[in-house]
Chains A and B, each alone.
Chain A
Amino acid sequence: EVQLVESGGDSVQPGGSLRLSCVASGFSFSTYWMTWVRQAPGKGLEWVATIKSDGSDKYYLDSVKGRFTISRDNAKNSLYLQMNSLRVDDTAIFYCVRGGGWALDHWGQGTLVTVSS
């Protein structure tokens, strides 16, 4: 069974940093692209970033470029999202999703990031 378990969400002040993690199990992690998608409270879904299976290519939403970094450790079956210079409008549930592009086929339960002064 595919499982994606996110962690690292917290409450931080504007300008702060957080590192989200996602541990994957039940599939061959190193062969899949991986993606982060976020959802602001009561709002819709917004794609954030995607990384290729070997980590060689990364894609970002314009509004997070230069602030967020997606990375992975295939030896640890883990996906990460380093978030710096956090803004109030980054407040959201962040989902770890298997796949990239059309193949967003399994979603984690999400981890909540709250940015507030």
Chain B
Amino acid sequence: DVVMTQSPLSLPVTLGQPASISCRSSQSLVYSDGNTYLTWFQQRPGQSPRRLIYMLSNRDSGVPERFSGSGSGTDFTLKISRVEAEDVAIYYCMQATRWPLTFGQGTKLEIK
């Protein structure tokens, strides 16, 4: 199975400052079609997860532009350009290149 490792697991950030979450996979996530099936989810307290980014860097409809996804191969990053109060949540990366689908442990973003 592909192991997804996120860091840090806890991320205190000052409002208005940038934030960055790393996600590393134990195998390359480049599929035979050339796409990289790396997804980012946000789970706010008490809510269901919400997809933010799919296929490495595609932002979902309604997701603020301050969220961006990047990376390649086995090394990926979710960046928030300027953190807002509503961004307090746990963020998960997930790979869908190989079965079984696997998630990272989650990174808890809090306001400092």
Bound state CA distance, A109 and B102, in angstroms?
A: 21
A107-B48, A107-B50, A110-B48 known; A44 vs B100 contact (CB < 8 Å): no
Residue of A nearest to B56 (CB): A102
Pick the most buried of A45, A46, A50: most chain B CB atoms within 10 A of its CB: A45
The bracket for how many chain A residues form the interface is 20 to 34
Tell me the smallest distance from the CB of A65 to a CB of chain B, in Å.
Answer: 10
B49: chain A residues at CB < 8 Å are 37, 45, 95, 107
**B44 in contact (CB, < 8 A):** no
Bound state CA distance, A46 and B100, in angstroms?
A: 10
B55: chain A residues at CB < 8 Å are 102
Kindly supply a per-residue 1/0 record for chain A positions 34-58, scoring 1 wherever the CB is within 8 Å of any chain B CB and 0 otherwise: 0101000000111100100000000
B side interface size, CB within 8 A: 22
**A103 in contact (CB, < 8 A):** yes
Within residues 91 to 117 of chain A, which ones have a CB less than 8 A from any CB in chain B? Answer: 95, 101-105, 107-110
Partner among B37, B92, B99, B105 whose Cβ is within 8 Å of the Cβ of A102: B37
A47: chain B residues at CB < 8 Å are 94, 100-103
A27: chain B residues at CB < 8 Å are none
Residue of A nearest to B103 (CB): A45
A105: chain B residues at CB < 8 Å are 51, 54, 60
Interchain CB contact under 8 A, B96 and A101: yes
What are 25 of the A-B contact pairs (CB < 8 Å)? A44-B103, A44-B104, A44-B105, A44-B106, A45-B41, A45-B49, A45-B92, A45-B94, A45-B106, A46-B103, A47-B94, A47-B100, A47-B102, A59-B99, A61-B100, A62-B100, A95-B48, A101-B101, A102-B37, A103-B96, A104-B41, A104-B94, A105-B51, A108-B48, A110-B48
Task: Give residues in B with beta carbon < 8 Å to A.
Answer: 37, 39, 41, 43, 48-51, 54-55, 60, 92, 94, 96, 99-106
Task: Give residues in A with beta carbon < 8 Å to B.
Answer: 35, 37, 44-47, 50, 59, 61-62, 95, 101-105, 107-110
